[in-house]
Structure 1
Amino acid sequence: MYLENSEQSKASGEGELSAEVILAEQCVIPKATEATVFSGPSKDSADLGIKVLMAYTGQIFNGEMDCPLLCEENGNLNTGEVQAKPLLPQMESSDAGKICVVIDLDETLVHSSFKPMNNPDFIIPVEIEGKLHQVYVLKRPHVDEFLKRMGELFECILFTASLSKYADPVSDMLDKCGAFKNRLFREACVFHKGNYVKDLSRLGRDLNRVIIIDNSPASYIFHPENAVPVESWFDDMSDTELLDLIPFFEKLSKEGGIYDILKEQRISS
């Protein structure tokens, strides 16, 4: 559910900054658009946060830059000068030989909202335009066990379309076992056809040894053959998807490449 066009925003008062931020990974850039603090879509239109405007230049939150690379319709980077430097540093020696697993945050591992919720796992303060707001965060069931095992088996990378001012402290609270070796945020994405895309070719890793776990197909549109899709999660405490994935990834960790086994998984599912 995306509420980013002008007709929908009129409901909160035309020309005003309402007390709502659209919780969506999509973003449309005509002259100015509604920027999001975190990336996952809301479960319903009432589940909103603090709305802010992002100018076409990508300057938001008192001049902070969180502008992803722009991308032409054919998927080619449209930045004038493609950055040769990989997004990730050289793999640590302790991870040598491991598959790189890119893991999304919002609606994959957690659900966050500016709207108060019952029994949040933690509350993160986020400053927006000089004002402090509370972000309420729920952890997906079995996320602790999932991250612990994934961190043992793989080089795990957090890659989110959220702003670092929100996602970094959430990750600090979530990843107590230190599963994530690196974290990538919105500015590492490529902006393509209204979506923040996670371009795996920019990581600096062999694509035959890279997997992305994400609830949003738009996030991995450049590399769908590398994806392990998961259902979007909001608040179903009986959910077992992360737990159910562990045996599959234990098997996958022993493979030399990922394409054949992921293809088999797609055919069987």
Structure 2
Amino acid sequence: MLKSATMTVPAKLVELYLDLRASAEEHVRGFTEPSSEMLLPDLHPQEHHVFTLVLDLNETLLYSDWKRDRGWRTFKRPGVEAFLEHLAQFYEIVVYSDQQAMYVDPIVDRLDEKHCIRYRLSRAATRYQDGKHYRDLSKLNRDPSRVLYVSGNALESCLQKENCVPIKPWKCEAEDTALLNLIPFLEYVARHRPADIRPVLASYQGRDIAKEFIERSKEHQKKMQEQKQQGRLWRR
């Protein structure tokens, strides 16, 4: 009986320890992991061809700052309404922020009065890692070959670098046109639907995508014009 008691007590302690450890790990996971394995609902069957445009909020679509005399103020990036309205024709638009939902929702309500943004993801949907909140596109419930992430801090805020579309961070420069400059590239992608956007973005690595796209378009038009001219010469 004494032997049985000595064997039973440690076993119960071990079981209690394992339960407490599992509970603690689950609690920590709630702060470090995205709130769901599928952050977005399934796409409608008729929209399986549609690309998903994920947009960061701060320093991409707007800028927030605090001053002692007036507190917090939020400013819209130049062209943001036109950018959203135009691209909503082609993309499923998602805002993904590392701020709390209580801050994100009222800001997006004012920013997107025409309801161009389909979904909003806030801090609970991020992955907390190395002291930072990262956007984890693998949890979106979307084909990663059809996801683009536009951000002023893209490479520093997203775990999937291959899906990033870096843009100049905005800090209230009045003459900024970065969002509008990006529209031709994003519209081209949506219209032509490459089989996988990731190698396309890799071809622009280290370059300003908006400027490089215009240069490539001009070069393509030049080659097409030359081929057309050569065809005319042969017909003569």
Give TM-score, length-normalised by structure 2. 0.69
SS in 2 for 1:238: coil
Counterparts of 1:163 and 1:143, CA distance in 2: 22
Give % identity. 30
Q: Which of the two has higher C-alpha Rg?
A: 2
Specify whether residues 229 and 149 from structure 1 end up closer, same or farther in structure 2 by C-alpha distance, changes over 3 A only: same
Deviations 1:109-150 (A, max 9, x none): 001123279xxxxxxxxxxxxxxx963111001111111112
Equivalence for 1:86:
38
Equivalence for 1:31:
none
Equivalence for 1:238:
175
Which amino acid in structure 2 is aligned with residue 154 of structure 1? Answer: Y
Corresponding position: 1:264 with 2:203? yes
Contact 1:252 1:261 in 2 (8 A): no
Which amino acid in structure 2 is aligned with residue 204 of structure 1? Answer: N
Contact 1:157 1:180 in 2 (8 A): yes
Deviations 1:177-207 (A, max 9, x none): 2121111000100011121100100111111
Contact 1:230 1:241 in 2 (8 A): yes
Which amino acid in structure 1 is aligned with residue 102 of structure 2? Answer: K
Counterparts of 1:177 and 1:152, CA distance in 2: 12
Shift of 1:90: 1.1
Counterparts of 1:94 and 1:176, CA distance in 2: 26
Deviations 1:21-54 (A, max 9, x none): xxxxxxxxxxxxxxxxxxxxxxxxxxxxxxxxxx
Contact 1:69 1:189 in 2 (8 A): no
Specify whether residues 145 and 68 from structure 1 end up closer, same or farther in structure 2 by C-alpha distance, changes over 3 A only: farther
Give TM-score, length-normalised by structure 1. 0.61
SS in 1 for 2:84: helix
Counterparts of 2:85 and 2:117, CA distance in 1: 10
Counterparts of 2:49 and 2:71, CA distance in 1: 41
Equivalence for 1:5:
none
Contact 1:211 1:226 in 2 (8 A): yes
Instruction: For structure 1, list consecutive stretches of 5 or more residues without a partner in the other structure.
Output: 1-56, 58-66, 71-76, 118-132
Root-mean-square deviation over aligned CA pairs: 2.6
Contact 1:68 1:190 in 2 (8 A): no
Shift of 1:159: 0.4
Higher strand share: 1
Corresponding position: 1:138 with 2:90? no
Structure 1 runs (4+) greater than 3 angstroms displaced? 82-85, 92-96
Equivalence for 2:225:
none
SS in 1 for 2:205: helix
Counterparts of 2:38 and 2:51, CA distance in 1: 17
Counterparts of 1:268 and 1:171, CA distance in 2: 30
Equivalence for 1:105:
57
Q: How many aligned positions are there?
A: 179
Equivalence for 2:156:
218
Specify whether residues 194 and 85 from structure 1 end up closer, same or farther in structure 2 by C-alpha distance, changes over 3 A only: closer
Whose relative contact order is higher, 1 or 2, with alpha carbons under 8 Å and at least 6 apart? Answer: 2
Equivalence for 1:255:
193
